[in-house]
Amino acid sequence: MTIHSMTRRKVLGATAALGAAVLPGLPALAQSKMVLRVSTPAVPDDWHAKMWTVFKENLEKSAPGEFDVQINLSASLFKQGTEPAAMARGNLELSSISAFDIAKLVPEFSIFTAGYIVHDPAQQQKIFNGPIGTEMFKMVSDKMDVTPLSTVYLGTRQVNLRDARPVKVPADLKGVKLRMPGSKEWLFLGEALGATPTPLAFGEVYLGLKSGTIDGQDNPLPTVRAAKFYEVTKQIVLTSHLVDGIFISISNKALAGMSAAQKQKVTVAAQAAAAYNNENRIKEEAQIVEFFKKEGMQVTTPDVDAFRKSVQTAYLNSEYAKEWPKGLLDRINAVK
Protein backbone atom coordinates (compact mmCIF):
# COMPACT_ATOMS: atom_id res chain seq x y z
CA MET A 1 0.00 0.00 0.00
CA THR A 2 1.27 3.46 -0.72
CA ILE A 3 1.42 6.19 1.87
CA HIS A 4 -0.90 8.72 0.29
CA SER A 5 -0.10 11.67 2.41
CA MET A 6 3.57 12.02 1.79
CA THR A 7 4.58 14.70 -0.58
CA ARG A 8 8.05 14.33 -2.06
CA ARG A 9 9.28 17.21 0.06
CA LYS A 10 7.95 15.69 3.25
CA VAL A 11 9.57 12.36 2.46
CA LEU A 12 12.90 14.02 1.84
CA GLY A 13 12.53 16.08 5.01
CA ALA A 14 11.63 13.02 7.05
CA THR A 15 14.60 11.07 5.72
CA ALA A 16 16.93 13.95 6.52
CA ALA A 17 15.49 14.24 10.04
CA LEU A 18 15.98 10.55 10.61
CA GLY A 19 19.51 10.72 9.27
CA ALA A 20 20.31 13.41 11.81
CA ALA A 21 18.95 11.28 14.64
CA VAL A 22 21.12 8.27 13.81
CA LEU A 23 24.45 8.71 15.47
CA PRO A 24 27.30 6.82 13.84
CA GLY A 25 29.06 4.35 16.09
CA LEU A 26 26.11 3.85 18.45
CA PRO A 27 24.29 0.52 18.31
CA ALA A 28 20.65 0.87 17.21
CA LEU A 29 19.31 -0.11 20.63
CA ALA A 30 21.17 2.66 22.43
CA GLN A 31 19.51 5.24 20.24
CA SER A 32 16.12 6.53 21.21
CA LYS A 33 13.12 4.61 19.98
CA MET A 34 10.25 6.37 18.29
CA VAL A 35 7.25 6.22 20.61
CA LEU A 36 4.01 5.12 18.95
CA ARG A 37 1.09 5.70 21.31
CA VAL A 38 -2.07 3.77 20.51
CA SER A 39 -5.47 4.67 21.94
CA THR A 40 -8.67 2.68 21.41
CA PRO A 41 -11.98 2.20 23.24
CA ALA A 42 -11.75 -1.56 22.55
CA VAL A 43 -11.96 -3.83 25.60
CA PRO A 44 -9.02 -6.23 26.15
CA ASP A 45 -10.93 -9.35 25.13
CA ASP A 46 -12.04 -7.98 21.73
CA TRP A 47 -10.13 -8.87 18.56
CA HIS A 48 -9.55 -5.25 17.64
CA ALA A 49 -7.80 -4.79 21.01
CA LYS A 50 -5.68 -7.94 20.68
CA MET A 51 -4.68 -6.97 17.13
CA TRP A 52 -2.52 -4.17 18.56
CA THR A 53 -0.29 -6.77 20.20
CA VAL A 54 0.10 -8.35 16.75
CA PHE A 55 1.03 -4.90 15.41
CA LYS A 56 3.59 -4.37 18.18
CA GLU A 57 5.16 -7.82 17.84
CA ASN A 58 5.29 -7.58 14.05
CA LEU A 59 7.14 -4.29 14.31
CA GLU A 60 9.51 -5.60 16.99
CA LYS A 61 10.52 -8.32 14.55
CA SER A 62 10.79 -6.20 11.40
CA ALA A 63 12.36 -3.14 13.05
CA PRO A 64 13.99 -4.31 16.29
CA GLY A 65 14.74 -1.48 18.69
CA GLU A 66 13.28 1.22 16.44
CA PHE A 67 9.79 1.70 17.91
CA ASP A 68 8.22 1.74 21.35
CA VAL A 69 4.56 0.81 20.77
CA GLN A 70 2.44 1.80 23.79
CA ILE A 71 -1.03 0.25 23.71
CA ASN A 72 -3.84 1.95 25.66
CA LEU A 73 -7.14 0.04 25.66
CA SER A 74 -10.65 0.82 27.00
CA ALA A 75 -10.33 4.53 26.09
CA SER A 76 -7.80 4.94 28.93
CA LEU A 77 -5.74 7.52 27.00
CA PHE A 78 -8.30 9.34 24.80
CA LYS A 79 -12.09 9.32 24.87
CA GLN A 80 -13.88 7.46 22.09
CA GLY A 81 -14.13 9.67 19.00
CA THR A 82 -11.49 12.18 20.13
CA GLU A 83 -8.57 10.18 18.70
CA PRO A 84 -8.45 11.85 15.24
CA ALA A 85 -8.14 15.33 16.80
CA ALA A 86 -5.45 14.05 19.18
CA MET A 87 -3.54 12.58 16.24
CA ALA A 88 -3.80 15.77 14.22
CA ARG A 89 -2.44 17.74 17.20
CA GLY A 90 0.48 15.34 17.59
CA ASN A 91 -0.66 13.95 20.97
CA LEU A 92 -1.33 10.48 19.64
CA GLU A 93 0.28 8.45 16.87
CA LEU A 94 -2.11 5.57 16.18
CA SER A 95 -5.73 4.54 16.54
CA SER A 96 -8.43 2.60 14.77
CA ILE A 97 -10.87 5.23 13.60
CA SER A 98 -14.42 4.67 12.41
CA ALA A 99 -16.15 5.80 9.23
CA PHE A 100 -18.26 7.97 11.55
CA ASP A 101 -15.15 9.70 12.96
CA ILE A 102 -13.97 10.34 9.42
CA ALA A 103 -17.36 11.53 8.11
CA LYS A 104 -17.34 14.43 10.59
CA LEU A 105 -14.42 15.98 8.69
CA VAL A 106 -14.71 14.24 5.33
CA PRO A 107 -18.46 14.26 4.53
CA GLU A 108 -17.86 12.20 1.36
CA PHE A 109 -16.92 9.31 3.64
CA SER A 110 -20.41 9.21 5.21
CA ILE A 111 -21.39 6.73 2.51
CA PHE A 112 -19.65 4.13 4.69
CA THR A 113 -21.77 5.07 7.73
CA ALA A 114 -24.96 4.24 5.84
CA GLY A 115 -26.73 0.99 6.63
CA TYR A 116 -26.94 -1.82 4.10
CA ILE A 117 -24.33 -0.43 1.68
CA VAL A 118 -21.39 -2.78 2.15
CA HIS A 119 -22.51 -6.43 1.83
CA ASP A 120 -19.92 -8.48 3.66
CA PRO A 121 -16.34 -8.41 5.00
CA ALA A 122 -14.84 -9.74 1.74
CA GLN A 123 -16.43 -6.92 -0.27
CA GLN A 124 -15.31 -4.46 2.41
CA GLN A 125 -11.66 -5.52 1.95
CA LYS A 126 -11.95 -5.29 -1.85
CA ILE A 127 -13.47 -1.82 -1.66
CA PHE A 128 -10.83 -0.38 0.64
CA ASN A 129 -7.85 -2.23 -0.86
CA GLY A 130 -8.80 -1.13 -4.37
CA PRO A 131 -9.08 2.22 -6.20
CA ILE A 132 -12.03 3.42 -4.07
CA GLY A 133 -9.97 2.96 -0.91
CA THR A 134 -6.97 4.73 -2.45
CA GLU A 135 -9.09 7.77 -3.41
CA MET A 136 -11.00 7.95 -0.14
CA PHE A 137 -7.90 7.46 2.04
CA LYS A 138 -6.11 10.24 0.17
CA MET A 139 -8.99 12.55 1.01
CA VAL A 140 -8.74 11.49 4.66
CA SER A 141 -5.02 12.11 4.75
CA ASP A 142 -5.32 15.53 3.09
CA LYS A 143 -8.21 16.75 5.25
CA MET A 144 -7.47 15.08 8.59
CA ASP A 145 -3.68 14.85 8.67
CA VAL A 146 -4.10 11.19 9.52
CA THR A 147 -3.40 8.30 7.13
CA PRO A 148 -5.37 5.03 7.12
CA LEU A 149 -3.04 2.03 6.80
CA SER A 150 -5.40 -0.93 6.87
CA THR A 151 -9.07 -1.85 7.05
CA VAL A 152 -10.32 -3.76 10.06
CA TYR A 153 -13.63 -5.62 9.93
CA LEU A 154 -15.34 -4.59 13.17
CA GLY A 155 -18.19 -6.98 12.52
CA THR A 156 -21.78 -6.73 11.40
CA ARG A 157 -23.86 -4.58 13.71
CA GLN A 158 -26.97 -6.10 15.28
CA VAL A 159 -29.62 -4.67 17.60
CA ASN A 160 -29.32 -5.88 21.20
CA LEU A 161 -32.21 -5.22 23.62
CA ARG A 162 -32.51 -5.14 27.40
CA ASP A 163 -36.01 -6.64 27.31
CA ALA A 164 -37.30 -9.00 24.66
CA ARG A 165 -40.06 -7.82 22.31
CA PRO A 166 -41.32 -8.78 18.88
CA VAL A 167 -39.28 -6.90 16.27
CA LYS A 168 -40.05 -7.52 12.61
CA VAL A 169 -39.95 -4.07 11.01
CA PRO A 170 -38.45 -0.66 11.95
CA ALA A 171 -41.82 0.50 13.38
CA ASP A 172 -41.41 -2.15 16.09
CA LEU A 173 -38.44 -0.22 17.47
CA LYS A 174 -40.52 2.93 17.91
CA GLY A 175 -39.75 4.60 21.24
CA VAL A 176 -36.89 2.18 22.03
CA LYS A 177 -34.03 4.16 23.55
CA LEU A 178 -31.24 2.73 21.44
CA ARG A 179 -27.77 3.74 22.57
CA MET A 180 -25.51 4.97 19.78
CA PRO A 181 -22.01 6.49 20.02
CA GLY A 182 -22.21 10.25 20.45
CA SER A 183 -22.18 11.91 17.05
CA LYS A 184 -24.95 13.00 14.72
CA GLU A 185 -23.84 10.50 12.07
CA TRP A 186 -24.36 7.64 14.53
CA LEU A 187 -27.66 9.04 15.81
CA PHE A 188 -28.92 9.20 12.24
CA LEU A 189 -28.31 5.48 11.84
CA GLY A 190 -30.29 4.77 15.04
CA GLU A 191 -33.13 6.92 13.77
CA ALA A 192 -33.09 5.22 10.37
CA LEU A 193 -33.54 1.90 12.19
CA GLY A 194 -36.79 3.28 13.63
CA ALA A 195 -35.53 3.72 17.21
CA THR A 196 -35.03 6.72 19.49
CA PRO A 197 -31.23 7.08 19.44
CA THR A 198 -29.51 8.04 22.70
CA PRO A 199 -25.82 9.09 22.65
CA LEU A 200 -23.51 7.36 25.11
CA ALA A 201 -19.81 6.48 25.11
CA PHE A 202 -18.99 2.81 24.67
CA GLY A 203 -17.51 2.54 28.18
CA GLU A 204 -20.86 3.53 29.73
CA VAL A 205 -23.06 1.12 27.80
CA TYR A 206 -22.86 -1.83 30.21
CA LEU A 207 -24.11 0.24 33.16
CA GLY A 208 -26.68 2.01 30.99
CA LEU A 209 -28.16 -1.36 30.05
CA LYS A 210 -27.96 -2.64 33.61
CA SER A 211 -29.65 0.40 35.13
CA GLY A 212 -32.20 0.81 32.34
CA THR A 213 -31.24 4.34 31.25
CA ILE A 214 -31.14 2.80 27.76
CA ASP A 215 -33.32 0.04 26.29
CA GLY A 216 -30.72 -1.36 23.93
CA GLN A 217 -27.58 -0.86 21.91
CA ASP A 218 -26.18 -1.98 18.56
CA ASN A 219 -22.82 -3.64 18.03
CA PRO A 220 -21.27 -6.59 16.25
CA LEU A 221 -21.83 -9.82 18.20
CA PRO A 222 -18.16 -10.49 19.09
CA THR A 223 -18.22 -7.13 20.88
CA VAL A 224 -21.50 -8.01 22.63
CA ARG A 225 -19.62 -11.00 24.02
CA ALA A 226 -16.27 -9.27 24.76
CA ALA A 227 -17.93 -6.34 26.56
CA LYS A 228 -20.32 -8.73 28.34
CA PHE A 229 -23.46 -6.91 27.20
CA TYR A 230 -25.21 -10.30 27.10
CA GLU A 231 -25.17 -10.26 30.91
CA VAL A 232 -27.51 -7.26 30.96
CA THR A 233 -29.66 -7.82 27.84
CA LYS A 234 -32.21 -10.45 26.80
CA GLN A 235 -32.51 -10.25 23.03
CA ILE A 236 -30.46 -9.98 19.87
CA VAL A 237 -32.32 -8.91 16.74
CA LEU A 238 -30.34 -9.93 13.66
CA THR A 239 -30.87 -6.74 11.67
CA SER A 240 -27.31 -6.95 10.18
CA HIS A 241 -27.67 -3.25 9.43
CA LEU A 242 -24.03 -2.26 9.08
CA VAL A 243 -20.99 -4.21 7.91
CA ASP A 244 -18.79 -2.03 10.05
CA GLY A 245 -15.18 -1.14 9.42
CA ILE A 246 -12.55 0.73 11.36
CA PHE A 247 -9.24 1.89 9.96
CA ILE A 248 -5.84 1.54 11.59
CA SER A 249 -4.57 5.06 11.07
CA ILE A 250 -1.40 6.96 11.85
CA SER A 251 -0.84 10.66 12.33
CA ASN A 252 0.95 12.32 9.44
CA LYS A 253 3.24 13.97 11.99
CA ALA A 254 4.47 10.51 13.03
CA LEU A 255 4.89 9.46 9.39
CA ALA A 256 6.93 12.56 8.68
CA GLY A 257 9.47 11.41 11.27
CA MET A 258 10.03 8.02 9.66
CA SER A 259 12.27 6.73 6.92
CA ALA A 260 10.65 5.15 3.85
CA ALA A 261 11.66 1.72 5.19
CA GLN A 262 10.06 2.42 8.55
CA LYS A 263 6.84 3.59 6.93
CA GLN A 264 6.75 0.39 4.96
CA LYS A 265 7.27 -1.73 8.08
CA VAL A 266 4.58 0.14 10.02
CA THR A 267 2.15 -0.35 7.12
CA VAL A 268 2.93 -4.08 6.94
CA ALA A 269 2.41 -4.37 10.73
CA ALA A 270 -0.95 -2.57 10.44
CA GLN A 271 -1.99 -4.96 7.68
CA ALA A 272 -0.94 -7.99 9.76
CA ALA A 273 -2.95 -6.67 12.72
CA ALA A 274 -6.04 -6.17 10.55
CA ALA A 275 -5.66 -9.64 9.01
CA TYR A 276 -5.44 -11.21 12.48
CA ASN A 277 -8.58 -9.37 13.60
CA ASN A 278 -10.51 -10.10 10.42
CA GLU A 279 -9.78 -13.81 10.38
CA ASN A 280 -10.68 -14.31 14.02
CA ARG A 281 -13.74 -12.09 13.98
CA ILE A 282 -15.22 -13.74 10.89
CA LYS A 283 -14.66 -17.16 12.49
CA GLU A 284 -16.25 -16.04 15.74
CA GLU A 285 -19.26 -14.43 14.06
CA ALA A 286 -20.01 -17.74 12.30
CA GLN A 287 -20.46 -19.57 15.60
CA ILE A 288 -21.42 -16.95 18.13
CA VAL A 289 -25.23 -17.18 18.01
CA GLU A 290 -24.95 -20.56 19.77
CA PHE A 291 -23.10 -18.90 22.61
CA PHE A 292 -25.87 -16.36 23.18
CA LYS A 293 -28.57 -19.03 23.02
CA LYS A 294 -26.71 -21.01 25.67
CA GLU A 295 -26.66 -17.87 27.78
CA GLY A 296 -30.47 -17.91 27.61
CA MET A 297 -30.84 -15.01 25.19
CA GLN A 298 -33.51 -14.78 22.52
CA VAL A 299 -31.94 -14.45 19.08
CA THR A 300 -34.58 -13.36 16.58
CA THR A 301 -34.58 -12.63 12.85
CA PRO A 302 -36.59 -9.64 11.68
CA ASP A 303 -37.79 -8.80 8.19
CA VAL A 304 -34.34 -7.69 7.05
CA ASP A 305 -35.69 -6.53 3.67
CA ALA A 306 -38.06 -4.15 5.45
CA PHE A 307 -35.16 -2.76 7.50
CA ARG A 308 -32.98 -2.48 4.39
CA LYS A 309 -35.61 -0.62 2.42
CA SER A 310 -36.39 1.79 5.23
CA VAL A 311 -32.74 2.50 6.13
CA GLN A 312 -31.66 2.94 2.50
CA THR A 313 -34.55 5.33 1.84
CA ALA A 314 -33.65 7.37 4.92
CA TYR A 315 -30.05 7.72 3.74
CA LEU A 316 -30.80 8.41 0.10
CA ASN A 317 -33.14 11.24 1.14
CA SER A 318 -30.69 12.63 3.69
CA GLU A 319 -28.24 15.51 3.65
CA TYR A 320 -25.47 12.91 3.83
CA ALA A 321 -26.20 11.44 0.40
CA LYS A 322 -25.74 14.90 -1.16
CA GLU A 323 -22.08 14.75 -0.16
CA TRP A 324 -21.38 11.33 -1.68
CA PRO A 325 -19.10 11.61 -4.71
CA LYS A 326 -21.01 11.16 -7.94
CA GLY A 327 -21.12 7.55 -9.04
CA LEU A 328 -19.51 6.20 -5.85
CA LEU A 329 -22.55 4.17 -4.78
CA ASP A 330 -22.62 2.43 -8.17
CA ARG A 331 -18.89 1.79 -8.00
CA ILE A 332 -19.28 0.26 -4.53
CA ASN A 333 -22.14 -1.92 -5.72
CA ALA A 334 -20.02 -3.08 -8.66
CA VAL A 335 -17.32 -4.45 -6.31
CA LYS A 336 -18.12 -8.14 -6.01
Contact set with ligand KDO (CB under 6 A): 40-42, 46, 48, 80, 98, 181, 202, 219, 223, 246
**Spatial separation of the C-alpha atoms in residues 200 and 178, rounded to whole Å:** 10
CB of 300 to ligand KDO, least distance (A): 21
What are the backbone dihedrals phi and psi of residue 150, each rounded to the nearest 5 degrees, phi first?
Answer: -160, 160
Q: Alpha-carbon distance 284 to 143, whole Å? A: 35
The least distance separating ligand KDO from the CB of residue 180, rounded to whole angstroms, comes to 7
**Closer residue to ligand KDO, CB minimum distance, 46 or 66:** 46
- What is the pairing mode between strands 216-220 and 146-161? antiparallel
Helix, strand or coil for residue 43? coil
**146-161/235-251 β-pairing:** antiparallel
Residue of 195, 104, 191 whose CA lies nearest to 143: 104
CB of 219 to ligand KDO, least distance (A): 5
Instruction: Decide: helix, strand or coil at residue 109.
Output: helix
Residue number with CB closer to ligand KDO (5 or 219): 219
In the bound state with ligand KDO, the residue whose beta carbon lies nearer, of 157 and 263, is 157
In angstroms, give the least distance from the CB of 220 to ligand KDO. Answer: 7
Residue 240 CB, nearest distance to ligand KDO (Å)?
15
Closer of 98 and 249 to ligand KDO (Cβ): 98
Q: Which amino acid does the sequence have at 327?
A: G
Instruction: Using the minimum distance from each CB to ligand KDO, give the nearer residue, 98 or 240.
Output: 98
At residue 245, φ and ψ (nearest 5 deg) are -130, 145
Min. distance of Cβ 181 from ligand KDO in angstroms?
A: 4
Nearest distance from residue 46's CB to ligand KDO, in Å?
6
Give 74 or 298: the residue with its C-beta nearer to ligand KDO: 74
Q: Which is nearer to ligand KDO, 52 or 202 (CB)?
A: 202
If one counts every other C-beta atom within 10 angstroms of the C-beta of residue 273, the result is 27
Long-range contacts of the stretch 169-177 (C-beta < 8 A, 24+): 169/194, 169/302, 169/303, 169/306, 169/307, 169/310, 170/194, 170/306, 170/307, 170/310, 170/311, 172/302, 176/215, 176/216, 177/213, 177/214, 177/215, 177/216
